[in-house]
A and B are shown apart, each in its own frame.
Chain A
Amino acid sequence: MQMGVDILSWLLLTCGGLFVLVGGIGALRMPDLYTRMHAASVTDGIAPILIVGGLILQAGITLASIKLAAILIFLLLTGPAASNALASAAVLSGHRPGNASEMSAEEEA
């Protein structure tokens, strides 16, 4: 029983870590702001569910689990809202998808 819980939580934690890695690579390698945000949102969305899920399995039925669940709910509420605000702000400030050369020129300036 304990063995099974350990294996499951280990799987969840590893998968969560992999999704964070994928999000990080995507945020570095994608061509423009919107595709980068699309890659980074993997870190906001699925990764916390998997990682905090794995940690809850490790903690068992304790007060720590309830705190972890509260943190997860907070992350799931605020992360997408922040991504949405960032994307809206980018649209309002006139960023258009796909002009990678313009973006890198701005970064170098």
Chain B
Amino acid sequence: MSAVFGIFLLTLMLITAIAVVRTRNLFVATTLMGIFSLLLASNFFLLDAADVALTEAAVGAGISTVLFLSALSLTAEQEKPGHRGRLVALAVVLVTTLALLHATLDSPLLGDINAPVHQHVAPWYIDNTPLAIDVPNVVTAVLASFRGFDTLGEVFVVFTAGIGVMFLLAHYPQKPPHQPHHGLRHYLIQRLVGRTVIPFILLFGFYVQFHGDFGPGGGFQAGTLIAAGIILFALLEGPNSAIKVIPSGVLKGMVAGGALLYGGVGVATMLLGGTFLDYSVLSSDPVAGQHLGILLIELGVGITVTGVLLSIFFAFASRKHF
């Protein structure tokens, strides 16, 4: 039954992907990309990858669509017709497709217990997580502790992306200009519903942030959800009201501070006599130290992701007041 549903979702994704390529209207393409991400998230969930599904739904279907739309408000709605290099593109796509199809012949079947991916380090993580870290969600243990250095790299990727957008587009108004009619001021129903829903979105974001040890979630997903709540507020009330809530300095502090907190935890563990990002030394009890370390670095991830997403959104929004 699950296989039938999976094939159904994958077929829908294929149709959506072809539609994205076929359409010349960028607005339609953006909307279809959101649908594609939502289908992908459902598919991840079907494969029991709840953490990835949550990320894909929040980032792919949610924030990316909003960011694409903000970017679209600065440019034209129709794609420019281009005909050069079509044969080359076709050849590249064909060769890549054939190579990937050939590669699938060698890959193990889905869910095969003897597949290398299930026999290499995965059993070690599953056996050692209850002993060393003692959190129910092994994904969080791997992401935040066993492979904390990789995640530090990811946070710095997000941080670098935020700085890049700031350099390219930075025009963050220091003072709100005197333009009173912004946002959806005459859309009374949407504003009322938004005001009702936004606190719950933020509450759910904090739940995902601090519940990441026990269930699907963590800093990346929570940062996206909290940013989505604030972006919804900015869309409804106008960016100026949102800038009053989170001033420019605070936002820049969040972008840098989260990454700094993550790296700072690593330096602190070194000063306490451990290795870089070995949280066991943070407390007299190694397991409690691990919990404290994971809490702190997840907080750092969440702060940086929220700050970067909001910076990108405001960089686009302040270019053209919607």
Contacts and interface: CB of A to CB of B under 8 A. Distances in A.
Interface stretch (B58-66, B86-94, B99-107, B186-194): B186-194
Contacts, number: 20
Nearest to B24: A109
B119 interface: no
Interface string A66-82: 00000000100110110
A17 to B, nearest CB: 14
A84 B189 CA distance: 8
A54 to B, nearest CB: 18
A84 B190 contact: yes
B292 to A, nearest CB: 28
B196 A77 contact: yes
Interface string B152-196: 000000000000000000000000000000001001011001101
Interface in B217-258: none
B49 interface: no
A85 B187 contact: yes
B197 interface: yes
Contacts of A104: none
Report, as a range, how many residues of chain B touch the other chain: under 10
A88 B190 CA distance: 11
B187 A77 contact: no
A77 B190 contact: no
A102 B189 CA distance: 30
Contact of B197 (A74, A80, A84, A85): A74
Contacts of B197: 74, 77-78
A99 to B, nearest CB: 19
B193 to A, nearest CB: 4
A81 B184 CA distance: 13
Contacts of A74: 197, 200
B236 to A, nearest CB: 10
B22 to A, nearest CB: 13
A85 B200 CA distance: 21
Contacts of A78: 193, 197
A9 B196 CA distance: 30
A73 B218 CA distance: 25
Contacts of A81: 189-190, 193-194
B73 to A, nearest CB: 14
Nearest to B196: A77
Contacts of B200: 74
B4 to A, nearest CB: 16
Nearest to B194: A81
Contacts of B193: 77-78, 81
Nearest to B186: A88
B185 to A, nearest CB: 12
Nearest to B191: A81
A39 to B, nearest CB: 19
A88 B197 CA distance: 21
Contacts of B184: 85
B321 to A, nearest CB: 17
A88 B196 contact: no
Interface string A85-109: 1001000000000000000000000
Nearest to A83: B189
Contacts of B187: 84-85, 88
Contacts of A77: 193, 196-197
A74 B200 CA distance: 10
Interface of B: 184, 187, 189-190, 193-194, 196-197, 200
Interface of A: 74, 77-78, 80-81, 84-85, 88
Q: Closest 10 CB pairs between A and B?
A: A81-B193, A81-B190, A85-B190, A84-B189, A77-B193, A81-B189, A85-B187, A77-B197, A88-B187, A78-B193
20 contacts: A74-B197, A74-B200, A77-B193, A77-B196, A77-B197, A78-B193, A78-B197, A80-B189, A81-B189, A81-B190, A81-B193, A81-B194, A84-B187, A84-B189, A84-B190, A85-B184, A85-B187, A85-B189, A85-B190, A88-B187
